[in-house]
Chain A
Amino acid sequence: MNINDYINSGVLELYVAGQLSEKESKEVYDLMLKHPEVLKEVLEIEAALVKLTASVAPKKDIDFNTIKGRLNTNSETKVISLNRPKTKWFNYTGWAAAVILAGGLIWTINQKSNLEDQIQIVNTEKDFLEIQMETSKTDLAETKNLLNIIRDKSIINIPLEGQAAAPGAYANVYWDKNDDTVYLDLQGLPEPPEGKVYQVWSLTLNPLTPTSLGTIDDFIQDDNKIFKLKNANQSQAFGITLEPAGGSKSPTLEQLYTLGALASI
Protein backbone atom coordinates (compact mmCIF):
# COMPACT_ATOMS: atom_id res chain seq x y z
CA MET A 1 0.00 0.00 0.00
CA ASN A 2 1.26 3.43 -0.95
CA ILE A 3 0.96 5.48 2.25
CA ASN A 4 0.78 8.82 0.45
CA ASP A 5 -2.08 7.64 -1.76
CA TYR A 6 -3.78 6.35 1.32
CA ILE A 7 -3.38 9.70 3.08
CA ASN A 8 -4.57 11.62 0.03
CA SER A 9 -7.63 9.46 -0.44
CA GLY A 10 -9.50 11.40 2.27
CA VAL A 11 -10.02 8.31 4.38
CA LEU A 12 -8.30 9.86 7.41
CA GLU A 13 -10.66 12.86 7.38
CA LEU A 14 -13.54 10.41 7.40
CA TYR A 15 -11.83 8.48 10.18
CA VAL A 16 -11.77 11.60 12.37
CA ALA A 17 -15.38 12.28 11.44
CA GLY A 18 -16.22 8.79 12.72
CA GLN A 19 -17.49 7.64 9.35
CA LEU A 20 -15.52 4.43 9.00
CA SER A 21 -16.59 0.93 9.87
CA GLU A 22 -15.06 -0.80 12.87
CA LYS A 23 -12.80 -2.82 10.57
CA GLU A 24 -11.63 0.22 8.62
CA SER A 25 -11.02 2.12 11.85
CA LYS A 26 -8.89 -0.71 13.20
CA GLU A 27 -6.89 -0.58 9.96
CA VAL A 28 -6.23 3.15 10.40
CA TYR A 29 -5.28 2.57 14.00
CA ASP A 30 -2.72 -0.10 13.02
CA LEU A 31 -1.31 2.13 10.25
CA MET A 32 -0.92 5.02 12.70
CA LEU A 33 1.20 2.81 14.92
CA LYS A 34 3.27 1.64 11.94
CA HIS A 35 3.60 4.90 10.00
CA PRO A 36 4.32 8.13 11.87
CA GLU A 37 3.19 10.16 8.85
CA VAL A 38 -0.29 8.67 9.13
CA LEU A 39 -0.44 9.54 12.80
CA LYS A 40 0.83 13.06 12.09
CA GLU A 41 -1.81 13.50 9.42
CA VAL A 42 -4.59 12.37 11.76
CA LEU A 43 -3.35 14.63 14.55
CA GLU A 44 -3.29 17.62 12.20
CA ILE A 45 -6.77 16.94 10.87
CA GLU A 46 -7.99 16.63 14.42
CA ALA A 47 -6.20 19.77 15.58
CA ALA A 48 -7.69 21.80 12.72
CA LEU A 49 -11.17 20.55 13.51
CA VAL A 50 -10.73 21.25 17.23
CA LYS A 51 -9.83 24.84 16.41
CA LEU A 52 -12.67 25.25 13.94
CA THR A 53 -15.31 23.85 16.26
CA ALA A 54 -13.91 25.82 19.22
CA SER A 55 -14.26 29.04 17.24
CA VAL A 56 -18.03 28.50 17.20
CA ALA A 57 -18.24 28.22 21.00
CA PRO A 58 -19.60 31.16 22.97
CA LYS A 59 -16.68 33.09 24.37
CA LYS A 60 -16.92 31.88 27.90
CA ASP A 61 -14.26 30.01 29.78
CA ILE A 62 -15.78 27.25 31.86
CA ASP A 63 -13.28 26.01 34.38
CA PHE A 64 -12.69 22.33 35.03
CA ASN A 65 -13.56 22.97 38.67
CA THR A 66 -17.21 23.47 37.72
CA ILE A 67 -17.46 19.77 36.84
CA LYS A 68 -14.82 18.40 39.18
CA GLY A 69 -17.26 17.98 42.06
CA ARG A 70 -19.50 15.84 39.90
CA LEU A 71 -16.84 13.35 38.90
CA ASN A 72 -16.92 11.36 42.13
CA THR A 73 -13.43 9.94 41.63
CA ASN A 74 -13.47 7.75 44.71
CA SER A 75 -16.24 5.55 43.50
CA GLU A 76 -16.25 3.24 40.54
CA THR A 77 -18.44 3.90 37.56
CA LYS A 78 -20.63 1.01 38.57
CA VAL A 79 -21.27 2.53 41.97
CA ILE A 80 -22.33 5.74 40.29
CA SER A 81 -24.63 3.95 37.92
CA LEU A 82 -26.18 2.32 40.97
CA ASN A 83 -26.67 5.72 42.55
CA ARG A 84 -28.74 6.98 39.69
CA PRO A 85 -31.63 4.55 39.93
CA LYS A 86 -31.52 5.26 43.64
CA THR A 87 -32.29 8.95 43.15
CA LYS A 88 -34.96 7.96 40.65
CA TRP A 89 -36.35 5.55 43.19
CA PHE A 90 -36.32 8.34 45.73
CA ASN A 91 -38.13 10.57 43.28
CA TYR A 92 -40.81 7.99 42.63
CA THR A 93 -41.33 7.22 46.29
CA GLY A 94 -41.41 10.93 46.95
CA TRP A 95 -44.18 11.44 44.44
CA ALA A 96 -45.97 8.31 45.60
CA ALA A 97 -45.79 9.53 49.20
CA ALA A 98 -47.16 12.90 48.15
CA VAL A 99 -50.06 11.27 46.32
CA ILE A 100 -50.82 8.96 49.27
CA LEU A 101 -50.61 11.89 51.67
CA ALA A 102 -52.96 13.98 49.54
CA GLY A 103 -55.36 11.03 49.29
CA GLY A 104 -55.15 10.51 53.04
CA LEU A 105 -55.88 14.17 53.67
CA ILE A 106 -58.93 14.14 51.44
CA TRP A 107 -60.13 10.95 53.12
CA THR A 108 -59.59 12.48 56.58
CA ILE A 109 -61.42 15.67 55.65
CA ASN A 110 -64.26 13.54 54.32
CA GLN A 111 -64.36 11.48 57.51
CA LYS A 112 -64.31 14.62 59.62
CA SER A 113 -67.20 16.14 57.74
CA ASN A 114 -69.14 12.85 58.01
CA LEU A 115 -68.51 12.73 61.75
CA GLU A 116 -69.57 16.35 62.13
CA ASP A 117 -72.80 15.54 60.31
CA GLN A 118 -73.36 12.59 62.61
CA ILE A 119 -72.70 14.72 65.69
CA GLN A 120 -75.23 17.22 64.39
CA ILE A 121 -77.80 14.46 63.95
CA VAL A 122 -77.10 13.02 67.39
CA ASN A 123 -77.38 16.47 68.95
CA THR A 124 -80.73 17.04 67.28
CA GLU A 125 -81.93 13.64 68.48
CA LYS A 126 -80.70 14.47 71.97
CA ASP A 127 -82.58 17.78 71.97
CA PHE A 128 -85.69 16.02 70.74
CA LEU A 129 -85.42 13.34 73.42
CA GLU A 130 -84.92 15.98 76.10
CA ILE A 131 -88.07 17.73 74.95
CA GLN A 132 -89.94 14.42 75.00
CA MET A 133 -88.60 13.65 78.46
CA GLU A 134 -89.68 17.08 79.67
CA THR A 135 -93.14 16.53 78.20
CA SER A 136 -93.33 13.11 79.85
CA LYS A 137 -92.31 14.58 83.17
CA THR A 138 -95.02 17.24 82.87
CA ASP A 139 -97.55 14.61 81.85
CA LEU A 140 -96.55 12.45 84.78
CA ALA A 141 -96.85 15.37 87.19
CA GLU A 142 -100.28 16.21 85.83
CA THR A 143 -101.39 12.60 86.07
CA LYS A 144 -100.13 12.32 89.63
CA ASN A 145 -101.94 15.52 90.44
CA LEU A 146 -105.16 14.15 88.96
CA LEU A 147 -104.74 10.92 90.87
CA ASN A 148 -104.30 12.87 94.08
CA ILE A 149 -107.44 14.83 93.37
CA ILE A 150 -109.49 11.70 92.70
CA ARG A 151 -108.19 10.01 95.86
CA ASP A 152 -108.76 13.03 98.05
CA LYS A 153 -111.36 12.28 100.75
CA SER A 154 -112.95 15.70 100.58
CA ILE A 155 -113.68 15.38 96.91
CA ILE A 156 -117.11 14.37 95.78
CA ASN A 157 -117.44 12.15 92.74
CA ILE A 158 -120.58 12.55 90.67
CA PRO A 159 -121.02 10.25 87.64
CA LEU A 160 -123.05 11.78 84.82
CA GLU A 161 -125.17 9.38 82.75
CA GLY A 162 -125.88 9.62 79.07
CA GLN A 163 -129.24 11.20 78.16
CA ALA A 164 -131.64 11.03 75.20
CA ALA A 165 -129.45 13.18 72.94
CA ALA A 166 -126.46 10.87 73.47
CA PRO A 167 -127.33 7.60 75.21
CA GLY A 168 -123.77 6.23 75.03
CA ALA A 169 -122.15 9.28 76.55
CA TYR A 170 -120.89 9.55 80.11
CA ALA A 171 -118.83 11.88 82.23
CA ASN A 172 -117.50 12.27 85.75
CA VAL A 173 -117.41 15.32 87.96
CA TYR A 174 -114.96 15.57 90.85
CA TRP A 175 -116.01 18.45 93.04
CA ASP A 176 -113.56 19.89 95.51
CA LYS A 177 -115.74 21.87 97.85
CA ASN A 178 -112.72 23.20 99.78
CA ASP A 179 -111.54 25.38 96.92
CA ASP A 180 -114.78 25.53 94.89
CA THR A 181 -113.37 23.65 91.94
CA VAL A 182 -114.80 20.95 89.72
CA TYR A 183 -112.73 18.60 87.65
CA LEU A 184 -114.57 17.19 84.69
CA ASP A 185 -113.55 13.91 83.13
CA LEU A 186 -115.16 14.14 79.70
CA GLN A 187 -113.55 11.16 78.05
CA GLY A 188 -116.94 9.58 77.49
CA LEU A 189 -118.26 12.44 75.35
CA PRO A 190 -118.10 12.46 71.54
CA GLU A 191 -116.22 15.29 69.83
CA PRO A 192 -118.54 18.25 69.43
CA PRO A 193 -119.45 19.11 65.82
CA GLU A 194 -117.99 22.22 64.28
CA GLY A 195 -119.40 25.45 65.68
CA LYS A 196 -120.64 23.76 68.85
CA VAL A 197 -119.20 23.49 72.34
CA TYR A 198 -120.09 21.64 75.53
CA GLN A 199 -121.44 23.82 78.28
CA VAL A 200 -121.39 22.69 81.90
CA TRP A 201 -124.26 23.52 84.22
CA SER A 202 -124.67 23.44 87.97
CA LEU A 203 -128.27 22.62 88.94
CA THR A 204 -130.40 23.05 92.05
CA LEU A 205 -133.44 20.82 91.92
CA ASN A 206 -136.31 22.50 93.74
CA PRO A 207 -137.02 24.55 91.80
CA LEU A 208 -134.86 23.47 88.88
CA THR A 209 -132.36 26.28 88.40
CA PRO A 210 -129.40 25.91 86.03
CA THR A 211 -126.27 28.00 86.50
CA SER A 212 -123.58 27.97 83.79
CA LEU A 213 -120.11 26.97 84.95
CA GLY A 214 -118.64 27.71 81.56
CA THR A 215 -117.96 26.20 78.14
CA ILE A 216 -115.30 23.65 77.19
CA ASP A 217 -113.67 25.48 74.31
CA ASP A 218 -110.58 23.33 73.89
CA PHE A 219 -112.25 19.90 74.01
CA ILE A 220 -110.68 18.58 70.80
CA GLN A 221 -107.15 19.81 71.53
CA ASP A 222 -107.02 18.44 75.08
CA ASP A 223 -105.36 15.07 75.38
CA ASN A 224 -106.67 13.65 78.64
CA LYS A 225 -110.08 15.31 78.38
CA ILE A 226 -109.92 16.50 81.96
CA PHE A 227 -111.05 20.04 82.49
CA LYS A 228 -111.08 22.32 85.52
CA LEU A 229 -113.84 24.84 86.23
CA LYS A 230 -114.77 27.07 89.16
CA ASN A 231 -117.96 26.22 91.03
CA ALA A 232 -119.00 28.23 94.08
CA ASN A 233 -122.65 27.10 93.88
CA GLN A 234 -124.57 24.82 96.24
CA SER A 235 -124.96 22.36 93.35
CA GLN A 236 -127.29 19.39 93.66
CA ALA A 237 -126.67 18.05 90.17
CA PHE A 238 -124.49 18.66 87.08
CA GLY A 239 -125.45 18.58 83.45
CA ILE A 240 -123.65 19.00 80.14
CA THR A 241 -125.36 20.30 77.02
CA LEU A 242 -124.19 20.96 73.50
CA GLU A 243 -124.49 24.65 72.71
CA PRO A 244 -123.48 27.00 69.88
CA ALA A 245 -119.92 28.28 70.22
CA GLY A 246 -119.70 30.89 72.95
CA GLY A 247 -122.35 29.16 75.06
CA SER A 248 -125.99 29.96 75.91
CA LYS A 249 -127.65 31.74 78.79
CA SER A 250 -129.85 28.77 79.56
CA PRO A 251 -129.31 25.13 78.63
CA THR A 252 -130.80 23.69 75.45
CA LEU A 253 -132.47 20.68 77.03
CA GLU A 254 -132.88 18.81 73.70
CA GLN A 255 -129.11 18.75 73.56
CA LEU A 256 -128.58 17.51 77.12
CA TYR A 257 -125.81 14.92 76.79
CA THR A 258 -125.17 13.84 80.32
CA LEU A 259 -126.74 14.44 83.69
CA GLY A 260 -126.03 13.27 87.25
CA ALA A 261 -127.10 14.21 90.80
CA LEU A 262 -125.14 14.14 94.06
CA ALA A 263 -125.50 10.76 95.74
CA SER A 264 -126.49 12.12 99.12
CA ILE A 265 -129.59 13.79 97.79
Chain B
Amino acid sequence: MQLELLVSKFKQKDEKAFEKLYNMYKDSMHGVIYNIVRDNDIAEEIMQDVFIKAWHKSDSYDATKGRFFTWLINIARNAAIDKTRSKAYKNASKNLNSDFFVDIIESQDNLDNSTDAIGIKKFVDKLAKKCIQVIELLYFKGFTQKEASEALDMPIGTIKTRNRNCIKELRESVL
Protein backbone atom coordinates (compact mmCIF):
# COMPACT_ATOMS: atom_id res chain seq x y z
CA MET B 1 0.00 0.00 0.00
CA GLN B 2 2.67 2.44 -1.03
CA LEU B 3 0.12 4.95 -2.36
CA GLU B 4 -1.92 4.82 0.85
CA LEU B 5 1.26 5.51 2.81
CA LEU B 6 2.12 8.51 0.66
CA VAL B 7 -1.36 9.89 1.10
CA SER B 8 -1.28 9.51 4.88
CA LYS B 9 2.13 11.22 5.01
CA PHE B 10 0.73 13.96 2.80
CA LYS B 11 -1.99 14.48 5.38
CA GLN B 12 0.77 14.95 7.93
CA LYS B 13 2.27 17.70 5.72
CA ASP B 14 5.22 15.63 4.54
CA GLU B 15 6.60 17.62 1.64
CA LYS B 16 8.57 14.68 0.19
CA ALA B 17 5.47 12.52 0.05
CA PHE B 18 3.56 15.38 -1.54
CA GLU B 19 6.25 15.80 -4.18
CA LYS B 20 5.81 12.14 -5.13
CA LEU B 21 2.05 12.51 -5.35
CA TYR B 22 2.53 15.66 -7.41
CA ASN B 23 4.72 13.82 -9.88
CA MET B 24 2.22 10.97 -10.08
CA TYR B 25 -0.81 13.16 -10.77
CA LYS B 26 0.36 16.49 -12.21
CA ASP B 27 -0.03 15.49 -15.89
CA SER B 28 -3.37 13.87 -15.20
CA MET B 29 -4.70 17.03 -13.51
CA HIS B 30 -3.12 19.17 -16.19
CA GLY B 31 -4.98 17.14 -18.81
CA VAL B 32 -8.34 17.39 -17.07
CA ILE B 33 -7.90 21.13 -16.60
CA TYR B 34 -6.66 21.72 -20.13
CA ASN B 35 -9.61 19.80 -21.53
CA ILE B 36 -11.89 22.30 -19.80
CA VAL B 37 -10.07 25.61 -20.30
CA ARG B 38 -8.24 24.86 -23.59
CA ASP B 39 -5.50 27.37 -22.90
CA ASN B 40 -1.92 26.38 -22.16
CA ASP B 41 -1.00 29.21 -19.78
CA ILE B 42 -4.28 29.15 -17.87
CA ALA B 43 -4.21 25.37 -17.55
CA GLU B 44 -0.67 25.46 -16.23
CA GLU B 45 -1.53 28.09 -13.67
CA ILE B 46 -4.65 26.28 -12.48
CA MET B 47 -2.77 22.99 -12.24
CA GLN B 48 -0.26 24.53 -9.87
CA ASP B 49 -3.00 26.25 -7.88
CA VAL B 50 -4.84 22.96 -7.52
CA PHE B 51 -1.86 21.25 -5.92
CA ILE B 52 -1.24 24.18 -3.60
CA LYS B 53 -4.90 24.15 -2.62
CA ALA B 54 -4.76 20.40 -2.05
CA TRP B 55 -1.72 20.86 0.17
CA HIS B 56 -3.38 23.51 2.29
CA LYS B 57 -6.60 21.57 2.68
CA SER B 58 -5.02 18.16 3.11
CA ASP B 59 -6.90 17.86 6.42
CA SER B 60 -10.17 17.67 4.56
CA TYR B 61 -9.20 14.55 2.63
CA ASP B 62 -10.75 11.43 4.12
CA ALA B 63 -9.61 8.08 2.66
CA THR B 64 -12.81 6.33 3.74
CA LYS B 65 -14.84 8.68 1.54
CA GLY B 66 -12.99 8.14 -1.70
CA ARG B 67 -9.74 7.88 -3.57
CA PHE B 68 -7.07 10.58 -3.32
CA PHE B 69 -7.13 10.74 -7.13
CA THR B 70 -10.89 11.29 -7.06
CA TRP B 71 -10.55 14.01 -4.43
CA LEU B 72 -7.82 15.73 -6.43
CA ILE B 73 -9.62 15.51 -9.77
CA ASN B 74 -12.68 17.16 -8.16
CA ILE B 75 -10.57 20.10 -6.99
CA ALA B 76 -9.03 20.37 -10.46
CA ARG B 77 -12.36 20.26 -12.30
CA ASN B 78 -13.96 22.81 -9.98
CA ALA B 79 -11.00 25.17 -10.29
CA ALA B 80 -11.07 24.90 -14.08
CA ILE B 81 -14.84 25.37 -14.30
CA ASP B 82 -14.63 28.36 -11.93
CA LYS B 83 -12.05 29.86 -14.24
CA THR B 84 -14.25 29.45 -17.30
CA ARG B 85 -16.99 31.31 -15.44
CA SER B 86 -14.68 34.18 -14.49
CA LYS B 87 -15.07 37.51 -16.24
CA ALA B 88 -11.43 37.66 -17.31
CA TYR B 89 -11.71 34.28 -18.98
CA LYS B 90 -14.95 35.18 -20.76
CA ASN B 91 -13.48 38.49 -21.92
CA ALA B 92 -10.63 36.61 -23.52
CA SER B 93 -13.47 34.82 -25.36
CA LYS B 94 -12.04 31.37 -25.13
CA ASN B 95 -13.45 28.96 -27.57
CA LEU B 96 -15.28 26.61 -25.25
CA ASN B 97 -16.02 24.11 -27.93
CA SER B 98 -17.68 20.83 -27.33
CA ASP B 99 -14.73 18.84 -28.59
CA PHE B 100 -13.90 15.74 -26.62
CA PHE B 101 -10.59 14.93 -25.04
CA VAL B 102 -9.89 12.62 -27.97
CA ASP B 103 -9.63 15.59 -30.30
CA ILE B 104 -6.82 16.92 -28.18
CA ILE B 105 -5.07 13.59 -28.21
CA GLU B 106 -5.47 13.29 -31.96
CA SER B 107 -4.35 16.82 -32.67
CA GLN B 108 -1.23 16.60 -30.54
CA ASP B 109 2.04 16.53 -32.44
CA ASN B 110 3.15 13.20 -31.20
CA LEU B 111 6.84 13.66 -30.65
CA ASP B 112 6.22 11.58 -27.57
CA ASN B 113 6.47 8.01 -28.74
CA SER B 114 6.20 6.41 -25.32
CA THR B 115 4.27 3.18 -25.05
CA ASP B 116 1.56 5.01 -23.11
CA ALA B 117 1.02 7.47 -25.90
CA ILE B 118 0.92 4.74 -28.49
CA GLY B 119 -1.48 2.71 -26.35
CA ILE B 120 -3.80 5.64 -25.87
CA LYS B 121 -3.77 6.42 -29.58
CA LYS B 122 -4.72 2.85 -30.27
CA PHE B 123 -7.45 2.99 -27.66
CA VAL B 124 -8.84 6.22 -28.99
CA ASP B 125 -8.76 4.97 -32.58
CA LYS B 126 -10.52 1.79 -31.62
CA LEU B 127 -13.06 3.13 -29.19
CA ALA B 128 -16.68 3.66 -30.04
CA LYS B 129 -17.96 7.18 -29.89
CA LYS B 130 -20.33 6.31 -27.05
CA CYS B 131 -17.37 5.07 -25.02
CA ILE B 132 -15.50 8.31 -25.50
CA GLN B 133 -18.54 10.33 -24.53
CA VAL B 134 -19.10 8.36 -21.35
CA ILE B 135 -15.49 8.72 -20.25
CA GLU B 136 -15.49 12.40 -21.20
CA LEU B 137 -18.56 13.14 -19.11
CA LEU B 138 -17.88 10.97 -16.08
CA TYR B 139 -14.16 11.55 -15.64
CA PHE B 140 -13.18 14.71 -17.51
CA LYS B 141 -16.30 16.77 -16.86
CA GLY B 142 -17.46 15.27 -13.57
CA PHE B 143 -21.05 14.63 -14.66
CA THR B 144 -23.14 12.44 -12.38
CA GLN B 145 -24.46 9.17 -13.80
CA LYS B 146 -27.87 10.76 -14.02
CA GLU B 147 -26.60 13.84 -15.85
CA ALA B 148 -24.59 11.65 -18.21
CA SER B 149 -27.61 9.46 -18.92
CA GLU B 150 -29.65 12.56 -19.77
CA ALA B 151 -26.89 14.08 -21.89
CA LEU B 152 -26.36 10.88 -23.83
CA ASP B 153 -30.00 9.80 -23.78
CA MET B 154 -29.07 6.46 -22.28
CA PRO B 155 -30.48 4.55 -19.24
CA ILE B 156 -28.43 4.88 -16.06
CA GLY B 157 -27.78 1.14 -15.96
CA THR B 158 -26.38 1.27 -19.48
CA ILE B 159 -24.01 4.06 -18.45
CA LYS B 160 -22.70 1.89 -15.65
CA THR B 161 -22.05 -1.24 -17.74
CA ARG B 162 -20.79 0.70 -20.76
CA ASN B 163 -18.43 2.59 -18.51
CA ARG B 164 -17.15 -0.66 -17.05
CA ASN B 165 -16.46 -2.02 -20.54
CA CYS B 166 -14.83 1.17 -21.77
CA ILE B 167 -12.48 1.33 -18.81
CA LYS B 168 -11.66 -2.33 -19.34
CA GLU B 169 -10.61 -1.63 -22.90
CA LEU B 170 -8.60 1.37 -21.78
CA ARG B 171 -6.78 -0.78 -19.24
CA GLU B 172 -5.95 -3.31 -21.91
CA SER B 173 -4.44 -0.59 -24.09
CA VAL B 174 -2.37 1.24 -21.52
CA LEU B 175 -1.53 -1.08 -18.66
Q: Which residues of A line the B interface, CB within 8 A? A: 8-11, 13-20, 22, 25-26, 29, 42-60, 62, 64, 66-68, 70-71, 73, 77, 80-81
Pair A59/B108 contact, Cβ less than 8 Å: yes
Interface of chain A: mostly helix, strand, loop or mixed: helix
Distance between Cα atoms of A51 and B29 in the complex (Å): 11
Minimal beta-carbon separation of A62 from chain B (angstroms):
6
Binds A, one of B81-89, B90-98, B135-143: B135-143
What are 30 A-B residue pairs whose CB atoms fall within 8 Å in the complex?
A15-B66, A16-B70, A17-B70, A18-B66, A18-B71, A18-B74, A29-B63, A46-B67, A46-B69, A47-B175, A48-B171, A48-B174, A49-B69, A49-B167, A53-B32, A53-B35, A55-B116, A56-B32, A56-B35, A58-B30, A58-B34, A60-B40, A64-B19, A67-B22, A68-B15, A70-B52, A71-B55, A77-B56, A77-B59, A81-B56
Closest residue to B105 on the A side, CB-wise?
A55
Pair B145/A62 contact, Cβ less than 8 Å: no
Q: Scan B135-170; emit 1 where CB is below 8 A from any A CB, else 0.
A: 100111010110000000000000011011001001
Pair A57/B23 contact, Cβ less than 8 Å: no
Q: Does B6 contact A (CB under 8 A)?
A: no
Pair A42/B30 contact, Cβ less than 8 Å: no
The total of chain B residues at the interface (CB under 8 A) is 67
Pair A57/B30 contact, Cβ less than 8 Å: yes
Q: Choose among B108, B119, B171 the residue that contacts A45 (Cβ–Cβ < 8 A).
A: B171
Pair A15/B145 contact, Cβ less than 8 Å: no
Given A56-B140, A58-B43, 18 more pairs with CB closer than 8 A: A11-B160, A14-B160, A17-B138, A25-B66, A26-B65, A47-B171, A50-B28, A52-B135, A52-B170, A53-B35, A54-B116, A55-B105, A55-B120, A56-B34, A56-B104, A56-B105, A59-B108, A77-B56
